Structure formats: structure tokens, C-alpha cells
Amino acid sequence: MASAHAHDVHDDCTACSLMPGAFCHLSPDLRLALNAVKFAAIYPAGAVLFSEGDMPRGVFILCSGRAKVTTSSTEGKTLILRIAEPGEILGVSATVNGKPYEVSAETLDPSQLTFVKGNDFLRLLQTNAELCLNAVRQLSAKYYDAQREIRSLGLAHTTTEKLAHLLLDWAAAHGTPTPRGTRLRVLYTHEQIAQMIGSTRETVTRVLTELRHGNVIEVKGSSLVLLDRYALEAMITT
């Protein structure tokens, strides 16, 4: 199918070596059907896939890379709702409902995405129970994650508590145990972390510095080690 960039694009779903997530684990017949209507492209970091308030054009399947899903206030304050990982599909709810995108999506890394026009995607959902079930499962998982985030961030009283929640969640999802503690690879700026927890870059920098000085965490480049997990847990009061 069509591609804006031919270089390094995995353009055949039936022979894809990426297969990054549950949504992509489709039967051969359904992958053929997807091949017939999709458009694959490589996007640079910082590419806006869609913007909050725009009418939906279709859905994006994230094949590789990462994308941030955000919402903004009328004052221009941005909140990162989640970081989309490979295998996720973006823009489903707006496309299915035929209503404006309720969030914005922007690539964080050079990423490959597969775009499917809204009418083609709806037709695939209507005629393929497998694809419909995969989409529902992903939406349900994201709804569950959103409820957890709303509870942890909404009930937290301070930036310290919110940041402790975030670090512990990252450790549970992506951490690697080491003799010194749980090691994380953190590929976000302080500004992006602030947007995840509804704070400011300056406050996040201050709290991280306090955690380092208190030997709760250790930071070297993009590597962060949770030295004292119990201290982080003690900071959470909700």
C-alpha cells in the first residue's frame, strides 16, 4: 500500500517481523484485509498525528516508536494522559463515534505507523469479529489504566506523592531488578514528566533532586535506580 517514506517501512502486515502488540496478532486472512486498506509511513519525532477537536480521519496503528497522548486546557496547559507503545491503535473512540478527537497524539521518537481511513476501519470492524474484539480489548485496557491514573493522581496531595506513584508504576511495568534496586530507563524530559502528573518542570526537578539527596533514587543519564522502594511507598498516603 501507499507509503510516504519507502525507507525501512515494514509495508506488508502478512510478513511483518515487528508484531509489537496484541492488536497486531491477527489471523492471516484479516492481515490480508488490513493490507488492502492501510497506508504505512515513517514519521519523525514530534509529528502530530491528530489534534484534539479535529474531526477524525481514521486510526493509526503504532508499529514502532512511541507517541504521547495529550489533552490541553483553555489556558494552554498540557497534560500527558499516556505514552502509547508499539502495537497500540490511536483514534479509535473518535472514529467509531464519529465525533472530534478528544485528545491529541504526537510521536516521541521516529516511528512507523499504519493509517486506516475511518470508513475502511469501520467496515473491517463490522465484518471481522476478531478485529472488533481486539479493538475492544485495547479500549478496555486503556480505560482501566485511565481509571487507575485518575485515582492515583486525583487523590494524591503533592507532587512528591504523584511522582512516587509514577516511579513505582514504571518499576512494576518496566523495571529490571538489580542488587542495588530496580533499574529503569527513563526517556522523558522533566517537562514531559511534569505533564504526566499535572505539575511543573521546576517542581519535578526539585523533587527528583530531593529524592537523589535522600538516597531514594540514583540517576545516571537515562538510567534511574530505585534504591529505597519502601521510602517511595511511604510517601503515598492515598
Let me know whether 98 and 23 are in one domain: yes
CATH of the domain at 125: 2.60.120.10
Instruction: Report the sign of the C-alpha dihedral through residues 35, 41, 46, 47, in that order.
Output: negative
> Helices marked H in 71-157 — which ranges?
92-97, 118-127, 129-155
7 — pLDDT class (breaks 50, 70, 90): very low
Mean pLDDT of 49-54: 95
CA nearest to 125, candidates 39, 211, 58, 40: 58
Per-residue pLDDT of 172-187, as tens digits, reads: 888 999 999 999 999 8
Q: Is residue 26 part of a domain?
A: yes
Q: What per-residue string of b and e applies to 181-215 under the rule 16 or more CB within 10 Å gives b?
A: bbbbebebebebbbbbbebeeebbeebbeebeeee
Alpha carbon distance 203, 218 (integer Å): 18
Q: Is residue 205 part of a domain?
A: yes
CA nearest to 69, candidates 86, 81, 53, 52: 81
Instruction: Give the residue numbers spanning the domain of 64.
Output: 13-154
Residue 104 has a pLDDT of 95
Domain end, chosen from 106, 138, 154, is at 154
Let me know whether 61 and 85 are in one domain: yes
How many domains is the chain partitioned into structurally? 2
Q: Is residue 186 part of a domain?
A: yes
CA nearest to 143, candidates 82, 68, 57: 82
Asked which of 31-35, 49-53, 150-154 is least confident by mean pLDDT, the reply is 150-154
CATH of the domain at 204: 1.10.10.10
pLDDT at 56 over 60: yes
pTM of the model: 0.74
Let me know whether 57 and 165 are in one domain: no
Q: Is residue 3 part of a domain?
A: no
Q: Is residue 87 part of a domain?
A: yes
Let me know whether 62 and 127 are in one domain: yes
Mean pLDDT of 146-153: 64
Residue 176 has a pLDDT of 94
